[in-house]
Amino acid sequence: MKDLQDILVQTISVAKEAGAFLREERKLFNGASVESKGLNDLVSYVDRESEKLIVARLREILPEADFITEEGSAGRDGKSYTWIIDPLDGTTNFIHGLPVYSVSIGLKYESEIVLGVVYEVNLDECFYAAKGLGAYCNGHRIRVSEAKTLGQSLVATGFPYSAFKQIDEYLSVLKKLMEKCHGLRRVGSAAVDLSYVACGRYEGFYEYDLKPYDVAAGIIIIQEAGGRCTDFSLGNNYLFGKEIVATNGHIHDEMAADIQKAWNLVP
């Protein structure tokens, strides 16, 4: 494997460059440029131009790598190294002028995420990690919360916006967790949610109908911060399996058990 520290430094620079582009474009943004990829699945030229910028810069860092990208502007997952990119995580927030959105860049080596950078544009917070090197925000080491129970926890989620087949199960999870934890939050960027678990602002996060580019960077940041990621069944299919439970580790089994009951995963 290549030198992850060197790649990480360069990737942080790319994420911040893309973030600066998003910041400037938001000042001039015209909602008339918004397109729909599907039910409530929005995109604009900003997403596409940010992705082009990121892909071009990352090709310079690892010319041999493939890409998985939200807007599909480059590559496929087929080589040892694969970049997994969301050029604007929180597009709906961006379009409506709500200040929570981010750039998310993950790097997969073989079957494992080994590097991740999430740059939250509005607060100018850059969360990053690489395998074995720890997790950081703006140069400061971060760790997950020490809360031991759901009763001591703040939990985040993402609302389904097009996959409504399991909406009843989802609402059942909400009910169970509302009755147990300090509260539930939905900020609209899964990459930011995962980063907030890593730095201890949340104790847990869960969501379904996710894509790899929603979670890739956040996964390694949480793991390097001492947290835990699984799918709803406590398995390892959380990158491509469209569902994730991410916690500080202490509350993981308790939170996953409630999700499993609501999701009819246990008798």
Neighbours of 137 (CB within 10 A): 21
Q: How many residues does the chain have?
A: 267
For every residue of 161-214, DSSP letters joined together read SS--TTHHHHHHHHHHHHTTSSEEE--S-HHHHHHHHHTTS-SEEEEES--HHH
Give which of 89, 198, 187 is closest to 134, Cα–Cα.
198
| Residue 89 counted as an annotated binding residue | yes
| Residue 214 counted as an annotated binding residue | yes
| Residue 207 counted as an annotated binding residue | no
| Residue 86 counted as an annotated binding residue | yes
| Residue 193 counted as an annotated binding residue | no
Q: How far apart are CA 195 and CA 127, in angstroms?
A: 7
Cα 161 to Cα 10, 38, 188: the distances in Å are 34, 10, 11
Q: Which residues are annotated as a binding site for Mg(2+)?
A: 70, 86, 88-89, 214
Q: Which residues are annotated as a binding site?
A: 70, 86, 88-89, 214
